[in-house]
Structure 1
Amino acid sequence: MSVQLRARTIVLTLCSALLATAVAALPARAEGTARAAWEVKGPHGSPTAVVALDRTDGHPTLAVRREGRTVLEPSPLGLVTEQTDFSRGLTLTGRSERTVTEHYTSPTGKSRDRVARMTEARFRFRTADGARLDLVTRVARDGVAYRYVLPRNHGNVLREASAFTLPTGANALLGGYRADNELRFTRYDSAAAAPAGAYMMQGLFRTGGGSGAAGDGDYALIAESDVNGTYAGAHLTHTADSSTYGLSLWNDEPVLTTGPLTTPWRTIVAGDLATVTESTFVDDLAPASRVRDTSWIKPGPALWTWLAGGKEAGQSLAAQEKYVDYAAERGWPYEVVDAGWYYKTGEWEVIDPQWQTDSWMPELVRHAAAKGVGIHVWLHYSLLTDPVEREKWLSTLARWGVKGVKIDFMDSESQERMRWYDDVLESTARHHLMVNFHGSTIPKGIQRTWPQVMSMEGVGGEEKRNNTAEQLASLPFTRNVIGSMDFTPGAFHRPYRPNVASDAGELGLSVLYESGIQNLSGTPESYDARPEARRYLEQLPARWEETRLLTGDPGRSAVLARRAADGRWFIGGTFTGAARTVDVPLRLGAGRWLVETLTDGPSGLVRETHVVRGGGTLALPVVADGGFAALACHAREGRTTCEN
C-alpha cells in the first residue's frame, strides 16, 4: 500500500469514527444519570419513539409518547442468539435517520390508494466483544415500529427480549393464543390484571388520555409485520400482576439462521380509536408487491356454499350449478366450493387433479363462466406441501379456469410453515390464482407483498358456535385492523349466531367486517325470505376506497362507514346490551346526505330514509345485542334512494 493511500485510509477511518461518535452523542439527552435517550419523531401529529440505553448494564429500551402522554413505558429490546446476548452490555456507535415515503395501491383492505410517510432511524449497537446489532425504528402518523438487523450470522435466534410495558391504569382487549388465531377477545379493565398466559399478537390497549368516554383517549394495538420464512410468528405472553407483555416465538423454538438476519417489525399502532381502526400501518411496513401484473386480481362478494349445503353439496355438480345460478342473479362475481369436491364419489380417496374425467369441476367452471361467475375451490394445505404435487394441483386448477383457492388447516406459525407460505404465494401468483387462507396465521402485511391474498381466516367466524355479541364488537378494533378477515357474514339461517334476534345486525356485518372476498354464508332461501337484506347485499361493491370509524367502544359497540368507488357510503353497526336508541355521528363530509337505514322491526327488516347534514347525528333503534345497516349518498332534488 502506498504512503498516500495508507494516509487516506487512516484519515477516512478517523473521520468515520468521529462521525459515528458525533451522531451517537449529539442527539442524546440524559434521563437522570441512569440512561441516555434519543427521540425519533415522525410527520406532524405522529407519536414519538424514545430509544434509550441504560448506562449501568447497557440494556436498550423503547418508549412511545403521544402529545406528551405515555402510550408505552420504557420497554425491553434486544434478542439472544446461540453466540451472543444482544439484550444487554450494548454501546451505541452510531445513528442515522432518513424519511421513507411510499405510494402504493391495494386491491383489498380499508382503502385503495395509500401513502406511507415514515421517519426511519437506525441505531447501531455493539457488544463488548464487537458483535453488532442494528435497531431500526419507524415512526408514522399512526404508529411506531422496530426491528432488529444482524449484519452477520451469530447462530440461531433463541429468543427475543422484546416486550411492551403499558402505563399504570391501561385497560386491554385480548384474545387467547392458539395456532389458528380463532379464540375470543376479552375486555379487561386493567391490563396488569389480565390472567397469566399467551395472547394473540393483536392486543388492543387503552393507555389513557381523553375524558374517559367510549372510544376516547389514546390506544395502542400491538402487532407484527413482514413475517416470512426467515423467521417465525410471535405472540404475546403475560405474567400475573404485570403491566408488561412479553413476546414469544412459535413454541419457543430457535429461529434457524445461515447468514445476516432482519427480523419482522414489532408494531405499535397508536393514536385515538379512529386512527387505530382506520390504520394501514401494518401493511405500510411490509415489502412492496411482488406481483407486477395485478390485472387478474379482482376482489368481490361470493356465495359460500359450506354453511348453505355442507359437504354433501360439495360433492354435487347439480347443487353447485344452482348456487352459481343464484350468485349470478344477485350479481355476485364468485361462488366458493368447499370441502368434498375433489373426492371420488362416495369415497374419501383424493382424485388425481390431472385426470379431468375424475372431476366435475371443469364442467362447473364452464357453467359458471357462461353466467359471469368465477369459481373458488377449497384445498387442504397438505396437498400443496410437496413442490411437485403443488405444481400439479395449481397448474391444473388454472388450466380449468378456476379463479381462486381457499387453503385450509395450516394451524402453525412456525418458521417451517412460514416458508411454506412463501412457496405457496409465489406459486399461486405465477398461476394467477387468488387466495383465501383458513386455519391460518393473520395477515401481518402479507396482502401488500402478495396482493392475490383476498382474505384470511385467523378468526372464529360465522361457522363457529362460540361467538358472543362482545366478540362481534371487538373484531373491528383488533383482528380486522390488521387485514382482510373472512368471518363469512350473512348466515341468517344459523341459530348459533350471537345476534340471532337482529337480522339488521347480521346484515351490517357485511360492511363492518372487511374482506377482499366477502364470503356470504346464508342459504338462498334465507336471502329470499329477507328481500330487503338481499337487495342490500346485491349492492355490495367489489372493494372499498376509504374507511371511517363513526363511533365505537371496543368490545361494546362499533359503527364503520366504507366508501365505494361510486361515492356511496355503506355503513354497518353492532352493539351489545339492551335494546335502545343509539346516536350515530354522520362523519362523511359536508352537505346533505340521503341515508337509507335497515333496522329490526316486529315483522322483519324495516327500511327508512333520512336526510342528515354532514356532521349531524342519526338516531336509530337497535334491539338487544343487535345492530343495523345503512347506505348513504349525497342528497339532491328528486332523489329518493341511493340505489344505483
Structure 2
Amino acid sequence: MAVPIRTAVAALCAGLAASLLGGGPARAGQDTGSAAHVWTVSAPGPGAAAQAPRARVSLDGTTGTLDLSVSRGGRTVIEPSPVGIRTERADLSQGLRFLHRTDRLVDERYRTKSGKRLDRRSWMNETRLSFGTAAGARFDLVVRAAADGVAYRYVLPGGYGDVLGETSAFTLPADARAWLSAYRADNEGQFAEYSAGSAPTGSYSDQALFATDGGYTLLAESGLSGAYSGARLAHDQGSGTYRVTLADDRIHSTGGPLATPWRAMVTGSLATVTRSTFTDDLAPASRVADTSWIRPGTVLWTWLAGGRAAGQSLTAQQAYVYYAAARHWPYEAVDAGWYFRSDQWDTTDPDWQTDSWLPQLTAYARAKGVGIVVWIHQRDLDTPEERAQWLPTLERWGVKGVKIDFMNSESQSMLQWYDAILKETAEHHLMVDFHGSTIPKGIQRTWPQVMTMEGVGGEEKRTNTSAHLTTLPFTRNVLGSMDFTPGGFQRVGQRPNSDAAEAGLAVTYESGLQMLAGSPESYDARPLARDFLAQLPAAWDDTRLLAGAPGREAVLARRGGDRWFLGGVYAGPARTAGVPLSLGAGRWLVETIRDGAGGLVQDRRVVRGGDTLGVDVVAGGGFAGIACRWHPGVTTCHR
C-alpha cells in the first residue's frame, strides 16, 4: 500500500528533528528507544573549533548510561567518563532516556577586585540535555564549553530527596603525566608527579593536573555552596579513572530544585591553563553591590618571624605598623594573641571590648595610612550570636579584614557556615582571608571581599620542596588567590629556595592580600628584596606565563599599569635560565634580582620584546624582576 506523500514528509521531518536533537542518527538496526545518542558542545567564536576543547556526551541506548569525553584539536583530553547522580528517590545514573535539548550563549563581562586580571569575560556555549527514567524521574545535564575549559553540572527538580552520591568520574590515559596532592581537609598537601595510572590508591584533592597529547588539563570545581558538599577524587592504582566522591555520605535536600556545583576541566596549553579564570567565569555573579571598600594590597605579617614571640602586644604591633607605613604597604596583620575567646567575656558589661588593645592599634594605624587585618579562630565565629558580637565590633574598631582559621572541612554543614560568614562579612565591610580552608571554587567572583585563601602547603611548611613550589602556579594558584605568605627570608634552612626566588614568589604566586611573612630585620638585611617588594602593585591587570614545566620551573609576568613584574622559581641544579620576554614589541628595560656570591645582586639591561632573557639561578633558586618600556633617559623601572 502506498504511503501518502504528506505522511512521508512528516515522517522524514520527524526523523531529521530527532537526529538534530540527538546530535546524530540512531544506530542501524535499533529503534530510537534503544539507540545511542551523541551530542557535542564547543566553544563559541570563529575558528574556535581548531584548538578549543570540545565536549562529547553519549547516551548508551541499551543501558541508559551517560558518559562525557573531551578533545582538543582532535586529540583526547578526557576519555569517555561516567556521568550521573543518585538521590533517595531516583537513580539518575542508568536507565535514562533522552527528552530534549536547549542551547544558549553565555556572554558576561565582569570586573574583579583581585586575581590574574581585573577585567574578565565569561564567554561560553551552554547545552542543556534533559533525561528521564521509565519511572518518570528526570534531570538536566548542563554542559558548558569555553576556549579554556569544559564543565558540567546536574540540575534536579524538587522532591527527589537527599543526594546519595555521584557516578561522575574523569578517565585519563593511564600513561598521562599527573601532578596530584593527597587529599587533606586543609588542602595543604604537597603535589607529587605520577602517571595517571601509577598514582597510589587513595583520595586526592580535586585540583589535579594531567598532561596528555591534547595538552594540559586541571580538574576543578566551581559554584560550591552550602546546598551541596565538597568533592575529592578517589583513585585505584593501575586505573586512569578518578572518581568524584563527596565529603558527606548524604547531602540534605531542602525539598526544592537543586543545581550541583560544576565539575570543571580547565584545558589547553600550559600557558592557557595558567592564565585561565574559567572557574570564576562559571561562578554566580557578585552578590556585593558596593565594592568600593574592598582594596587589595601588601600585608606585613610577622607570625613566621617568631609567633607570639614576634610581639603580640600593642607596642610591638605599633612598631610593625610604622614599618609597613614606611614601605607604603597598606596593611599589617595581627595574628593570635590579641583577644580573649568570646565565651570568656562578660558581654553584659558595656566595657567588655576594652579587654583588647586592638582599638588603640587601629587608631594608630589609621593615622599612618595602614589598615589592620586580624586573625580569629573559626570556633569564635561559628554561631550567629558570636558573629553578632564580633563582626560589628571589628567594623566599629576600624579593622579592615579578618583572617579566619581552622575550618578544615568541606562538609555541607561547614559550607553552610561559609554561606553565612560571607554574607555577614560583606555587610560589615570586612575583607576575608580564609586559612585551614577549602580552595577558591569561584568564590572570589561571587564574594569579592574574599581576597585570598590558604588551602596550600605554604611558607610555614618546613617539608616543602622546590618541585612543589614550581607546581603550585599550575595547580592551586590557577583556581584563585593563594595565601602562600612568601617573603620569609629569616627562615634560612627551613625553606627549599634561595633569597632571589623568595622575592620572586610574591609575583609568581597571586594573592589579593599578599601577606609577606618576613621580619623587618630580614627585609633590612636584604634591601634589594625590600625595595622590590615595596614596588608591588595592589592588583594585577594581566598575567602571562613566560616559561614553565610543572615540578621544574615557573616564570610568570604580571602587569600593573605600564610595568611588568617578573617572578621565577626553579627546581634542580644551578643554570643560566632562558626566559622568553613575551611582553610586546619594542625595547624594554629589565631589572632583575638574582643570587650572588655575597647576597642579592641587581642587573639592568635593555632588550627587545621577544628576546630570550638569560638569568643565572642557583640550585633551587629563582629571580625577581621588573620590566618597563625603555627610551633614552630611562635608567630604572623603580618609582
CA deviation digits over 1:424-479, x for unaligned, max 9? 00000000000000000001000000000010000111112121101100100000
Cα offset for 1:36?
2.4
2:38 alignment counterpart:
37
Please point out which of 375, 387, 407 is paired with 2:372. 375
Contact 2:456 2:482 in 1 (8 A): yes
Please point out which of 196, 201, 204 is paired with 1:196. 201
1:560 alignment counterpart:
556
* 1:516 is the counterpart of 2:496: no
* 1:150 is the counterpart of 2:145: no
Separation in 1, partners of 2:419, 2:39: 36
Contact 2:158 2:255 in 1 (8 A): no
Please point out which of 581, 593, 598 is paired with 1:598. 593
Please point out which of 190, 194, 207 is paired with 2:212. 207
1:638 alignment counterpart:
633
Please point out which of 264, 273, 280 is paired with 2:277. 280
Contact 1:439 1:457 in 2 (8 A): yes
* 1:617 is the counterpart of 2:612: yes
Separation in 2, partners of 1:386, 1:20: 58
Q: Identity of counterpart residues, as a percentage?
A: 60
* 1:74 is the counterpart of 2:80: yes
CA deviation digits over 1:336-392, x for unaligned, max 9? 000110039xx9956859723211100000000000000010110111111121011
Cα offset for 1:35?
3.2
Give ranges in structure 1 of 5+ residues lacking alignment: 1-13, 210-217
Separation in 2, partners of 1:20, 1:53: 18
1:289 alignment counterpart:
286
Q: Structure 2 matches for 1:302-381, cutoff 5 A? A: 302-313=299-310, 315-343=312-340, 355-381=352-378
1:213 alignment counterpart:
none
Contact 2:345 2:352 in 1 (8 A): no
Separation in 2, partners of 1:540, 1:289: 26
Contact 2:57 2:68 in 1 (8 A): yes
2:584 alignment counterpart:
589
CA deviation digits over 1:63-120, x for unaligned, max 9? 1010100101111000011111111110111001110000000111100001111000
2:5 alignment counterpart:
none
Cα distance change of structure 1 residues 31 and 457 upon mapping to structure 2, 3 Å threshold: farther
Equivalent position amino acid for 1:136 in 2: V
Cα distance change of structure 1 residues 23 and 397 upon mapping to structure 2, 3 Å threshold: farther
Cα offset for 1:310?
1.4
Please point out which of 173, 177, 184 is paired with 2:179. 173
Please point out which of 29, 50, 56 is paired with 1:50. 56
Contact 1:568 1:631 in 2 (8 A): yes
Cα distance change of structure 1 residues 252 and 465 upon mapping to structure 2, 3 Å threshold: farther
Equivalent position amino acid for 2:455 in 1: G
Cα distance change of structure 1 residues 25 and 372 upon mapping to structure 2, 3 Å threshold: closer
Equivalent position amino acid for 1:531 in 2: P
* 1:139 is the counterpart of 2:139: no
1:215 alignment counterpart:
none
Cα offset for 1:133?
1.0
Please point out which of 534, 537, 557 is paired with 2:533. 537
Contact 1:279 1:481 in 2 (8 A): yes
Q: Structure 2 matches for 1:95-114, cutoff 5 A? A: 95-114=101-120
Separation in 2, partners of 1:601, 1:270: 38
Cα offset for 1:40?
0.7
Q: Secondary structure at the match of 1:589?
A: coil
Cα distance change of structure 1 residues 20 and 407 upon mapping to structure 2, 3 Å threshold: farther
Q: Secondary structure at the match of 1:382?
A: helix
Contact 1:405 1:436 in 2 (8 A): yes
2:482 alignment counterpart:
485
Q: Secondary structure at the match of 1:58?
A: coil
Question: Given the two structures, how large is their TM-score scaled by the length of structure 2?
Answer: 0.94
Cα offset for 1:309?
3.9
Equivalent position amino acid for 1:616 in 2: D
1:414 alignment counterpart:
411
Separation in 1, partners of 2:478, 2:364: 37
Separation in 2, partners of 1:377, 1:342: 10
Cα offset for 1:312?
4.0
Cα distance change of structure 1 residues 253 and 99 upon mapping to structure 2, 3 Å threshold: same
Question: Given the two structures, how large is their TM-score scaled by the length of structure 1?
Answer: 0.93
Separation in 1, partners of 2:636, 2:555: 22
Give ranges in structure 2 of 5+ residues lacking alignment: 1-9
Contact 1:351 1:359 in 2 (8 A): no
1:233 alignment counterpart:
230
Cα offset for 1:315?
3.1
Q: Secondary structure at the match of 2:59?
A: strand
Please point out which of 544, 550, 575 is paired with 2:546. 550
Q: Secondary structure at the match of 2:92?
A: coil
1:403 alignment counterpart:
400
Contact 2:174 2:238 in 1 (8 A): no
Q: Which runs of 4+ in 1 moved over 4 A?
A: 17-21, 29-34, 347-354
Contact 1:72 1:165 in 2 (8 A): yes
Q: Secondary structure at the match of 2:229?
A: coil
1:385 alignment counterpart:
382
1:572 alignment counterpart:
567
CA deviation digits over 1:498-518, x for unaligned, max 9? 335x11011000000000000
Cα offset for 1:147?
0.1
Separation in 2, partners of 1:354, 1:146: 53
Cα distance change of structure 1 residues 368 and 125 upon mapping to structure 2, 3 Å threshold: same
2:4 alignment counterpart:
none
Please point out which of 276, 284, 298 is paired with 1:301. 298
2:426 alignment counterpart:
429
Separation in 2, partners of 1:351, 1:549: 54
Cα distance change of structure 1 residues 95 and 494 upon mapping to structure 2, 3 Å threshold: same
Q: Secondary structure at the match of 1:630?
A: strand
Contact 1:100 1:117 in 2 (8 A): yes
Separation in 1, partners of 2:364, 2:251: 50
* 1:468 is the counterpart of 2:465: yes
CA deviation digits over 1:556-585, x for unaligned, max 9? 1100000002x1000100111111111000
Contact 1:312 1:340 in 2 (8 A): no
Cα offset for 1:552?
0.4
Contact 1:437 1:457 in 2 (8 A): yes
Q: Secondary structure at the match of 1:51?
A: strand
CA deviation digits over 1:610-636, x for unaligned, max 9? 111111100111100110011000111
Deviates more, 1:170-179 or 1:251-260: 251-260
Contact 2:409 2:438 in 1 (8 A): yes
1:123 alignment counterpart:
129
1:220 alignment counterpart:
217
